[in-house]
Amino acid sequence: MSKYKVNLKINNIAVSVDEGTTILDAARQLNFKIPTLCHHDDLCVAGNCRVCVVEQKGARLLPAACATPVSEGMEIQTNSLKVRQARKHIVELLLSEHNADCTKCFKSGYCELQDMSNDYRIGDHVFLDLVKEKDKQPDISSPSIEKDDSKCIRCQRCVRTCTSLQYVSALAVTHKGNNMRISTFMDKPMNDVVCTNCGQCINRCPTAALTERNYIDEVFDAIYDPKKFVVVQTAPATRVAIGEEFGMEPGTRVTGKMVAALRRLGFDKVLDTDFTADLTIMEEGTELLTRLKEALVDGKEVALPMLTSCSPGWIKFQEHMFPDLLANLSTCKSPQQMFGPLAKTYYAEKVNKNPAEMVVVSIMPCTAKKFEAERPEMRGSGYKDVDYVLTTRELGRMIHQAGIDFEKLEDEKYDTILGESTGAAVIFGATGGVMEAALRTAYEIVTGREVPFANLNIKPIRGMEGVKEASVKIKDVKPEWSFLEGVELNVAIAHGLANAKILMDKIRAGEANHHFIEIMACPSGCIGGGGQPMPTNMEIRKKRAAGIYEEDEAMVIRKSHENPEVAEIYKSFLHEPLGHRSHDLLHTHYYPRKRH
């Protein structure tokens, strides 16, 4: 459909844009940046902070550039005296209700309000301080997310994220006027509501009203405790994003530098969550094939489609919203939580360490992983399996604090035993990656041949579409898998919980014909996780995804079942997928949760 063109002038320069374009986007086309706070490229228009107001010739009011579509003949000034005065007032007003303790603030240097205040040289506070004393006590009830109302500027980005992108609605606007605030159902603490801990709100909060609970000091304490043996694991998606904390382009692959930095920080061993991602494929792939066999051969009532369980935000979402379908969820723990118990049993034995003196730290793109590590069932080793979870951002902060010049580091390799991984593991970081890795292995187990896609790249399930569906025809199977001959394996992938809900509603209604579904809580998968560097938008996430797939292609081994350390652990410790030890250490169970 061809769109009408609209002609207008911005700062006296003529421009012709598509009908329906906002003044903000039209100005961008002319390289005029209009400041914004409530606007976010991932979210619907709000038009409530008003810092983007501009002057329109002949109009009594200053329209908000983010919320006003262009019209023919419009003449806009983006920086007139009237606009400057209004904008300055608005920033001053926001500061007057903001607890501006910038020197103590975790967000300092990353805060959009701080930037704007600097840009407009807002020095002395003209207006009265309106921050309420009671708001200065942040809500730290959640192990993942800290909510500090005294920093909130009511832009509602978090609310729109929680409602539209994630369909969780843990955060909502409550009260009105001077009492208007962002709160939870009945003002309950964050750990007591439907919050999935996905942290997407943090990624979009312009200030420090929402941040991750940070455990940097605890980790440094452990590192410098001579009695403690501290091992660290790194999730797939961190290695293409941590560079952004040091000014590098999104998607820059810095795995080797990250390993080097972790070693310089003083971790005793630097290991890889990718190893347990490969292990997840073995366990989850076997679980899927077992369920298929039970359904097709034994005629048992088996919960299908099977749903992946790598994303703890997604798991809590399902426990709240779809408790009736928990049987469909794979019993596999997430790779982080498979790593923990193996580190404190198998690995401890190999390196001859007392698990009681071991500290397992994980570096995750995720805030929900902090909650996951705290779940009482995550103590398969007899100890707390994963002691501390840090986000990619927190690791960046640690490296800055330790004075390590990240960019100049020489690449280093992971330590052995739980450090070897494959390309299949690294793609766990992008939406569709777990599915692709599972298919690479399952297809080969069943048929003895590689998946029928060029260079192992299963392109149909890659990309940023919200819900992706594909079918793989299974033919010429090995004799022991004859029941799968000719079966059309239907798979689906959803990322972002609003998309997950679309799929889940279909399953609940019995309208889905899938066998296996991958769901990631965060938009674009872990690369868009709630613990990743800020800012986030689709362009940045696409670059990180590209980095992930480059990393995959650069790996020598690209199929999980070919990981030699995985073969070794099955030979000497676990014996077989879904075996007795696996059951104890690598699998878990879920609990229905209420919505209120």
Partner 1 sequence: MEKNIKKVDLIFGKVDYMAIVEQSLKRTRDEIILDVIDSGLRGRGGAGFPTGLKWKFAKNEEADQKYVICNADEGEPGTFKDREILTQVPEKVLAGMALCGYCIGASEGYIYLRGEYNFLLPSLHKHIDEFHKKLKALKFDFTIRICSGSGAYVCGEETALMESMEGKRGEPRNKPPFPTSHGYLGKPTSVNNVETLVFALMIAQEGPEKFKEMGTFDSRGSKVFSVSGDTPTPGIFELELGMTLEQFVEEFGDGDTKAVQVGGASGFCVARKDFKSTLIGFEGIPTGGSMMLFNSSRSMYNILNDYLEFMEEESCGQCTPCRVGCQQLLKGIEAVKKGIKPPSYLEDLQKLSDTMRIASKCGLGQSVPNPFNSIIKNFREEIIY
What are the residues binding partner 1 (CB under 8 A)?
45-51, 53, 60-62, 64, 67-69, 82, 85-86, 89-90, 93-94, 96-97, 126-128, 130, 153-154, 156, 173, 175-180
Question: Nearer to partner 1 by C-beta: 177 or 510?
Answer: 177
Determine the Cα–Cα distance for residues 436 and 552; give it in Å rounded to an integer: 12
Please state the closest distance from residue 135 (CB atom) to partner 1, in A. 14
Please identify which residue in the block is written with the tokens 């469909």: 328
Distance CA 23, CA 70 (A): 6
CB of 64 to partner 1, least distance (A): 7
How far is the CA of 162 from the CAs of 145, 392, 462, in angstroms?
13, 21, 25
Half-sphere exposure of 385 (CA within 13 A, CB side): 31
For 575, residues 6+ apart whose C-beta sits below 8 A from its C-beta are 581
- Known catalytic residues are 284, 287, 310, 330, 369, 372, 377, 526
AA identity, residue 177 = G
- Which residue number, 127 or 224, has a Cβ lying nearer to partner 1? 127
> Could you write out the three-class secondary structure of 59-98?
CCCCCECCCCECCCCCEEECCCHHHHHHHHHHHHHHHHCC
- Tell me whether residue 23 or residue 578 sits nearer to partner 1 (CB atom): 23
Evaluate whether 276 touches 469 at the Cβ level (below 8 Å).
Answer: no
Nearer to partner 1, 90 or 398 (CB): 90
Question: Residue 535 in 3-state DSSP?
Answer: coil
Q: Which amino acid belongs to residue 14?
A: A
| C-alpha span between 242 and 531 (Å, rounded) | 10
Q: Which residues contact 439 (CB under 8 A, 6 or more apart)?
A: 451, 458, 472, 491
Q: Which is nearer to partner 1, 64 or 438 (CB)?
A: 64
| Exposure letters 499-530 (e unless 16+ CB within 10 A, then b) | bbbebbebbeeeebebbbbbbbbbbbbbbbbb
CB atoms under 10 Å from CB of 556, counted, come to 7
Closest CB to partner 1 among residues 60, 121? 60
* Sign of the dihedral defined by the CA atoms of residues 472, 473, 477, 481, in that order: positive
Q: Which two tokens stand for residue 88?
A: 């300055």
Decide whether 48 or 457 has the Cβ nearer to partner 1.
48
Q: How far is the CB of 456 from partner 1 (least distance, A)?
A: 47
538 CB-near residues (< 8 Å, 6+ apart): 41, 42, 464, 524
CB of 38 to partner 1, least distance (A): 9
Q: How far is the CB of 22 from partner 1 (least distance, A)?
A: 10
Closest CA to 536 of 249, 235, 208, 204: 204
Q: Could you tell me the end-to-end alpha-carbon distance of the chain, in angstroms, rounded to an integer?
A: 45
Q: Which is nearer to partner 1, 174 or 471 (CB)?
A: 174
Q: State the nearest-atom distance from the C-beta of 19 to partner 1, in Å.
A: 12
Closer residue to partner 1 (CB): 302 or 498 = 498
Nearer to partner 1, 85 or 354 (CB): 85
Q: Pull the structure tokens for residue 176.
A: 């009105």
Its sign, for the CA torsion 321, 533, 432, 419, is: negative
Smallest separation (angstroms) from partner 1 to the CB of 479: 60
| Alpha-carbon distances of 203 from 167, 189, 199, 534, rounded to whole Å | 16, 20, 7, 6
Distances, alpha carbon 98 to alpha carbons 159, 160, 200, 252, 412, in Å: 18, 21, 22, 35, 44
For 183-192, the CB contacts below 8 A with 24+ separation are 185/596, 186/596, 189/139, 189/141, 189/142, 190/139, 190/141, 190/142, 190/145, 190/147, 191/141, 191/142, 191/143, 192/141
Q: How far is the CB of 179 from partner 1 (least distance, A)?
A: 8
The shares of helix, strand and coil residues in the chain, as percent rounded to the nearest 5, are 45, 15, 45
Torsion of CA 196, 202, 208, 211, to 10 degrees: 50
Nearer to partner 1, 24 or 198 (CB): 24
CB of 151 to partner 1, least distance (A): 15
Considering the complex, what minimum distance in angstroms separates the CB of residue 126 from partner 1?
6
CB of 163 to partner 1, least distance (A): 11
Neighbouring residues of 89: CB distance < 8 A, sequence distance ≥ 6: none
